[in-house]
Amino acid sequence: MDVIPDRILRHLHETGVGVRVAVVRRLAVVPARGGSKGIPRKNLQVVAGETLVARAVRCAVASRMFDEVMVSTDDDEVAAAGRAAGAAVPFLRGAAASGDRASSTDVLRDVLGTYAARGMDFDTVALLEPTSPMRISEDVVRSVTATEADGWDAAVTLSQVPLSYHPDKQFRLGEDAAAVFFTEAGPTVVARQQLVPTHIRNGMCYAVRAGSILVGGTIFGTRTRAILVSRPYVNIDSPEDLERARQMLGA
C-alpha cells in the first residue's frame, strides 16, 4: 500500500485541502479444528520442525499482506500453538463451523461475523489450510493481489492434474461392473495431445472479498482467478500423505 509522504500531508493540511486515503483491510484465517478422523490431532503434527498450524501462520505473517492473521479453532491446544507462531486467536470457533461437515465458507462466515460483531470489518480475507504445507509467501501474495484486481472477487491456488489421471481417461462403474467412460469424450481420445489440461485445488491459499461471504456467497466469489502453482505439493489427508510431506520438506 502506498504511503503519502509527510511533506505532502503537511501541504494538504496547510492549504486546507482534504485528503481521503482508501484503506484495504485484510485478514488471514488459518482453519484448524482440534479433531480429525484420518490423523489424530492432524493440525498439530510436526513437519520440518514445526506444527502444521504454525507453518501456515508463519507463512501468512511472512507475506506481510495482512492486518491480522488469526487461527480459527475449537481447541485450546491448537489455539496456543497458533499464538506461539504469531497469530491472534481472539475467540474459539462457533458450533456451526466446528462439525465435520462445516465448509470453508462456513468457517469464514463465522469468523467475519464474529469480528463484525466486535466492530472489526475486513475487505479481503484469505484462507490458508494447515494441511497444505508446501505453500510459500508468494502464493499468498499472488492470491490476495489477484482478488483485489478489477474484474475479480476471489482467487484460488491450483495445481495441474497429471494427464494420466485426466477425466477423459477415467471410468466409472456401471451396472454389473461395466466399465463406463467418465466423460462423453473419453472414447474419442487416442493421444494425449487431445487432452485439455485440468487443475485441482491444492489448499495453499483461497482469497475472497469479505463482502461476498457476508451476503451469502461462497469462498469462490462470483469470478475466481486461477493462481497456478507448478511446484510439487501434498494435501495431507492420510498418514501416508503426512509421511510424504515430511520426506518432501526434509523432516
What is residue 208's predicted lDDT score, i.e. its pLDDT?
A: 97
What is residue 187's predicted lDDT score, i.e. its pLDDT?
A: 95
- Residue ranges, the chain, pLDDT below 50: 1-4, 8-10, 12-13, 16-21
Residue 31 near residue 129 (C-beta atoms within 8 A): yes
**CB atoms near residue 152 (< 10 Å):** 18
Domains of the chain, each with CATH number or no CATH: 23-159+198-249 (3.90.550.10), 162-197 (no CATH)
**DSSP SS3 for 137:** helix
What is residue 22's predicted lDDT score, i.e. its pLDDT?
A: 54
Q: Rounded to whole angstroms, how far apart are CA atoms 248 and 251? A: 8
Q: Rounded to whole angstroms, how far apart are CA atoms 149 and 152? A: 6
pTM of the model: 0.85
**67 is written with which cell numbers?**
492486518
What is residue 101's predicted lDDT score, i.e. its pLDDT?
A: 74
What is residue 3's predicted lDDT score, i.e. its pLDDT?
A: 42
